[in-house]
């Protein structure tokens, strides 16, 4: 195995903790790599006015593969207030660095697998006939379009005259908002392009074909969002008919999907969606397999790939004297990185080790024991972050 260079972006809060644990597991499985640290996150916003510095961008351009921890994001006014005094009043605006990274490097695929771990006490269960309890096996992969939709950042508060006048040419805008003062308007756009839709939908079908999933479901809202969701639906139908006839195609509305996912989650294989809806349903399915402590993801573009857990930075937990957070989501994200660069056997070994630890049930973090996250959970029998990693490494 040739030596790799991996850019590590710990970010904020527990991101710094779980990333370190993932690297311990990668070392234990024999992955040969140099890890190059990159600056990103809230401290750099506060002190430099930029949470995603140019020096970090250059590192990513050079080395292409990134392991990312977690990021803190706050609302616009709160972010402005936390800038260093010498930076305030200079018109700086906070933007999420992970969203910026996705757009800068066109990381238009976001892949979020949600698969049941046998023996996980957090797995979804439901009532069956005669009072019995069923535990359906969830094996869903969400393909989320990562750079467009409502997260594309094309938005205004108090839009300028040119934007306002252009919007007022739409009859519904004129009918519903002509009596609202311009300075009281906040507008976000939802933009889909045909090229990006085709790419993410084809990615979903290819994944289903490669890994033997029987169905691809487009989760959107074409009955209301007729132009954007409607375009995606049309593309998906034509693509399935002409290129993937052996794969069953389904279309669900996102609101109905949130109900069906807890009614019959085993009926779904690969799900493809726009940015916002994909964000929502991937967290929903993650809840069925144990929550964000188990939810991994990959952000993949033509040249650059970034692998991250989907949980947040949880800054209060980062301050605990002994870390209590579940590192499995970060470790699983590292497995996705190994898959991406062709180290399939290493990824399989780590996943098997994680599965054995979860199934054996001897080592469980506080979330797996259904405890409230507090400093005393270790004394009550919960494993620390490091102890969970130790158990996984012991299985390796």
- Give the tens place of pLDDT for each residue, 6-51: 999 999 999 999 999 999 999 999 999 999 999 999 999 999 999 9
CA atoms within 13 A on the CB side of 377: 24
Cα 365 from chain centroid? 21
Rounded to whole angstroms, the Cα distance separating 351 from 174 reads: 55
pLDDT at 1 over 80: no
Does position 78 have pLDDT exceeding 80, yes or no?
A: yes
pLDDT tens, residue by residue, 229-272: 999 999 999 999 999 999 999 999 999 999 999 999 999 999 99
Q: What is the mean pLDDT of residues 375-396?
A: 97
Is the four-CA dihedral 34, 60, 195, 278 of positive or negative sign?
A: positive
b/e map of 147-162 (b: 16 or more CB within 10 Å)?
bbbbbbeeeeeebeee
Query: Quick one: DSSP state of residue 89?
Result: T
Measured in whole angstroms, the distance separating CA 396 from the mean position of its chain's CA atoms is 27
Q: Extract long-range pairs of 100-105: CB within 8 Å, 24+ residues apart.
A: 100/52, 101/52, 101/60, 101/299, 101/306, 102/146, 102/147, 102/299, 102/306, 103/147, 103/152, 103/153, 104/57, 105/60, 105/301, 105/303, 105/304, 105/306
Give me the mean pLDDT over the 184-201 stretch.
97
Q: In Å, how far are 29, 216, 321, 369 from 363, measured between CA atoms? A: 20, 36, 20, 10
- Position 76 scores a pLDDT of 83
pLDDT of 39-75, one tens digit each?
999 999 999 999 999 999 999 999 999 999 999 988 8
What pLDDT is recorded for position 2? 80
pTM for this model (two decimals): 0.93
CATH 3.40.718.10 segments of the chain: 1-110+295-396, 124-152+193-288
Average pLDDT over residues 199-213: 97
Q: CA distances (Å), 238 to each of 193, 220, 231, 270, 292, in order? A: 16, 16, 11, 17, 35
CB 14 within 8 A of CB 313: yes
Predicted pLDDT of residue 153? 87
From the CA atom positions of the chain, what is the Rg in Å? 22
Structure tokens at 339: 């898959």
The average pLDDT across 137-150 equals: 96
For the 124-152+193-288 domain, the top CATH level (class) is alpha beta
pLDDT in tens, 341-364: 999 999 999 999 999 999 999 999
- Look up the CATH number of domain 1-110+295-396: 3.40.718.10
User: Buried (b) or exposed (e) across 288-322, using 16+ Cβ within 10 A?
Assistant: bbbbbbbbbbbbbbeebbbbbbbbbbbeebbebee
Handedness of CA 19, 25, 31, 34 (dihedral sign): positive
* Cα–Cα dist 276/338, whole Å: 27
Apex CA 106: angle with CA 105 and CA 107, to 5°?
95
pLDDT digit string, tens, across residues 104-138 = 999 999 999 999 999 999 999 999 888 899 999 99
Q: How far apart are CA 324 and CA 378, in angstroms?
A: 7
Which tens digit of pLDDT belongs to each residue from 153-173?
A: 899 999 999 999 999 999 999
Give the Cα separation of 67 and 26 in Å (integer): 12
336 sits in which H/E element: helix 328-340
The overall longest dimension of the chain from CA atoms, in Å, is: 68
- Mean of pLDDT values over 140-162: 95
Distance CA 21, CA 89 (A): 40
Over residues 273-299, mean pLDDT: 96
Which pLDDT tens digit goes with each residue over 324-345? 999 999 999 999 999 999 999 9
């Amino acid at each position: 195995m040739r030596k790799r260079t991996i850019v590590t972006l710990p970010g904020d809060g527990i991101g710094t903790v779980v990333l370190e644990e993932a690297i311990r597991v990668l070392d234990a499985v024999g992955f040969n790599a140099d890890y190059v640290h990159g600056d990103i996150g809230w401290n750099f916003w506060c002190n430099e006015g930029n949470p995603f510095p140019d020096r970090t961008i250059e590192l990513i351009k050079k080395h292409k593969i990134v392991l990312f921890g977690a990021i803190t994001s706050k609302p616009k006014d709160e972010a402005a207030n936390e800038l260093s005094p010498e930076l305030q009043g200079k018109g700086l605006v906070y933007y999420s660095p992970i969203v910026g990274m996705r757009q800068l490097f066109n990381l238009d695929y976001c892949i979020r697998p949600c698969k049941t771990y046998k023996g996980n006490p957090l797995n979804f269960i439901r009532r069956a006939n005669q009072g019995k309890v069923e535990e359906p096996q969830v094996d869903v992969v969400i393909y989320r379009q990562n750079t467009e939709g409502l997260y594309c950042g094309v938005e205004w508060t108090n839009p300028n005259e040119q934007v306002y006048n252009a919007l007022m040419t739409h009859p519904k805008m004129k009918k519903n908002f002509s009596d609202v003062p311009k300075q009281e308007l906040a507008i976000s756009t939802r933009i889909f392009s045909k090229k990006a839709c085709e790419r993410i939908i084809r990615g979903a079908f290819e994944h289903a074909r490669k890994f033997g999933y029987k169905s691809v479901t487009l989760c959107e809202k074409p009955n209301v969002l007729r132009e954007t969701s409607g375009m995606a639906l049309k593309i998906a139908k034509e693509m399935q008919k002409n290129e993937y006839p052996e794969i069953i195609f389904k279309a669900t509305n996102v609101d109905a999907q949130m109900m069906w996912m807890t009614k019959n989650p085993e009926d779904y294989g690969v799900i493809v969606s726009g940015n916002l809806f994909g964000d929502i349903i991937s967290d929903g399915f993650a809840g069925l397999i144990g929550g964000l402590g188990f939810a991994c993801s990959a952000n993949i573009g033509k040249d650059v790939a970034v692998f991250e857990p989907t949980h947040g930075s949880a800054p209060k937990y980062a301050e605990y004297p002994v870390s209590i957070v579940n590192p499995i989501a970060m470790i699983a994200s590292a497995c996705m990185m190994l898959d991406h660069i062709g180290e399939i056997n290493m990824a399989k070994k780590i996943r098997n080790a994680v599965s054995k630890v979860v199934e054996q049930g001897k080592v469980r973090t506080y979330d797996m024991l259904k405890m409230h996250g507090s400093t005393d959970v270790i004394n009550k029998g919960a494993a620390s972050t490091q102890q969970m990693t130790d158990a996984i490494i012991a299985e390796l």
